[in-house]
Structure 1
Amino acid sequence: MKLRIKFREKEKKEDGEVNYYPAGNGFSPWQFGRNLRQLIEEAKRCEKKTEILFLCIGSDRATGDSLGPLIGYKLERLAGFERLVVGTLERPVHAVNLADTMREIRCLYPEHLVVAIDASIGQQEQVGWISVGRGALCPGLGVSKQLEQVGDIFITGVVGGSSCREVRCLQSVRLASVMHLADCICDGIQCAEAEFLQPHPADILGRTR
């Protein structure tokens, strides 16, 4: 499932700032993780949520659309990872079942903040970049599908250029490039989890007063 994004290394969105990271040698999982942690903490305070759910959107039937399920698969298998994960290679969340899945999440996990993860398309020079920001994403926009907006925080990986809007094009995306994006995003999420285990500066100040 694709959304289409515009591209700057840092830009403003209605809900807040969007940051972009190259998924190459310049990728810093700790910087990404710190950014993600800050977004989660802000959103939890604003939305009054206490838990986190990772919603990994996409289908394993097209390589270019498999970023979300690959990340879900990897997160489920991380040692010590205790967050709820919805959307994997075995149980993907895609255009057909997204609405039903969101109804279940709202019913069963009302206290969970939703971090939505999906593949995206952009300009050719944007391929291989990752975006993270506050607010919902619009799955299917890049392939002209109108689906409901999902998530309180979004993470996307650009898997193809703006011409990549048909299934046959998505199927031609190299698995290696999608796996590289998935590895970087998973590393960043792991670093965010490690950040949550560290005491927040405000907590330290509170204990010393």
Structure 2
Amino acid sequence: MTAAHQVYYHPSGQSFCRARFAEQLRQLTPPGRPVLLLCIGSDRSTGDSLGPLIGYKLQKQAPEGLFILGTLDRPVHAVNLPEALDSLPGLCQDPFIIAIDASLGRENHIGYITLSNSSLQPGLGIGKSLPNVGHISITGIVGSLEGEGMSQLQTASLGLVMNLADCIASGILKAFWGQPHFTALWSDKPQWPQKWWKRVPVPGFPSERQACRK
């Protein structure tokens, strides 16, 4: 039987309860499987940089068994997402995927973090059609659905985005650090092969990073 859709809302900043977020995240994550954090977004837009910022913060702190895809240096975004998903078997086998992305929401929910037991659809708030990703998902609400989506992402407060990234990263570390099915060791995670990446122009974002095979 499919579990009912659940979404937990967490305020960021000083009101953020890391222990409660971590406990809920542990309850949604099955033991015994590698966990992959799919941090979606682009460093060319302030609001959309939430995912890569979280990946950047976690890439050298994650315990063994926790894999990270999507950082400031190597973002996973609308252009390269399908290819990145196709390449997951080369990073780890049968991972439990936690999708992380910026989102838009109600005006009174800006600055909140959501934790859901279902996947997310990247780009939905700005009218893009991308496949659903993740077994579960985490989002940071950086702008309002009432405005124009792309403008909301581009004009989001950097302070707000950094605050959300700090809270989410710290909550993830608390959830998985020292857990029985993870080894509490500092280690460098597998990297995408260098040849898999090169800079190419993308319409609307001349300096955007796009993944492609040489």
Same fold (TM over 0.5): yes
TM-score by length of structure 2 reads 0.77
Say whether residues 1:103 and 2:95 are aligned partners: no
Secondary structure of the 1:55 match is strand
Match of 1:17 in 2: 6
How much has 1:166 moved relative to structure 2?
4.1
* CA distance in structure 2 between the aligned counterparts of 1:27 and 1:162, rounded to whole angstroms: 23
How much has 1:18 moved relative to structure 2?
1.6
What fraction of aligned residue pairs are identical, expressed as a percent?
44
- Report how many residues are paired: 180
Structure 1 runs of 4+ off > 6 angstroms?
A: none
Secondary structure of the 2:14 match is coil
Q: How does 1:46-57 map to 2 (within 5 A)?
A: 50-57=33-40
TM-score by length of structure 1 reads 0.79
Unaligned stretches of 5+ residues in structure 2: 182-214
* CA distance in structure 2 between the aligned counterparts of 1:116 and 1:18, rounded to whole angstroms: 14
How much has 1:110 moved relative to structure 2?
3.6
Q: Quick one: structure 1 residues 96 and 107, their matched pair in 2 at CA, closer, same or farther if it must change by over 3 Å?
A: same
How much has 1:193 moved relative to structure 2?
1.3
Q: How does 1:68-107 map to 2 (within 5 A)?
A: 68-78=51-61, 80=63, 83-106=66-89
How much has 1:57 moved relative to structure 2?
0.2
Q: Quick one: structure 1 residues 162 and 96, their matched pair in 2 at CA, closer, same or farther if it must change by over 3 Å?
A: same
Match of 2:23 in 1: 34
* CA distance in structure 2 between the aligned counterparts of 1:106 and 1:81, rounded to whole angstroms: 17
* CA distance in structure 2 between the aligned counterparts of 1:157 and 1:108, rounded to whole angstroms: 26
The structure with more helix, counted as a fraction of residues: 1
* Cα deviation 1:139-162 (Å, max 9, x = unaligned): 110001110000001000000011
Unaligned stretches of 5+ residues in structure 1: 1-12, 199-209
Q: Quick one: structure 1 residues 97 and 36, their matched pair in 2 at CA, closer, same or farther if it must change by over 3 Å?
A: same
* Cα deviation 1:152-183 (Å, max 9, x = unaligned): 01000000011343434422111110000000
* Cα deviation 1:91-148 (Å, max 9, x = unaligned): 0000000010111115653411101000000111110001112121011100011100
Q: Which stretch has the larger CA shift, 99-108 or 149-158?
A: 99-108
Pick from 131, 139, 146 the counterpart of residue 114 of structure 2.
131
Match of 1:67 in 2: 50
Asked if 2 retains the 8 angstrom alpha-carbon contact of 1:36 and 1:192, the reply is: yes
* CA distance in structure 1 between the aligned counterparts of 2:143 and 2:71, rounded to whole angstroms: 21
Match of 1:4 in 2: none
* CA distance in structure 2 between the aligned counterparts of 1:195 and 1:160, rounded to whole angstroms: 34
Structure with more contact order per residue of length (Cα contacts < 8 Å, sep ≥ 6): 1
Q: Quick one: structure 1 residues 164 and 196, their matched pair in 2 at CA, closer, same or farther if it must change by over 3 Å?
A: farther
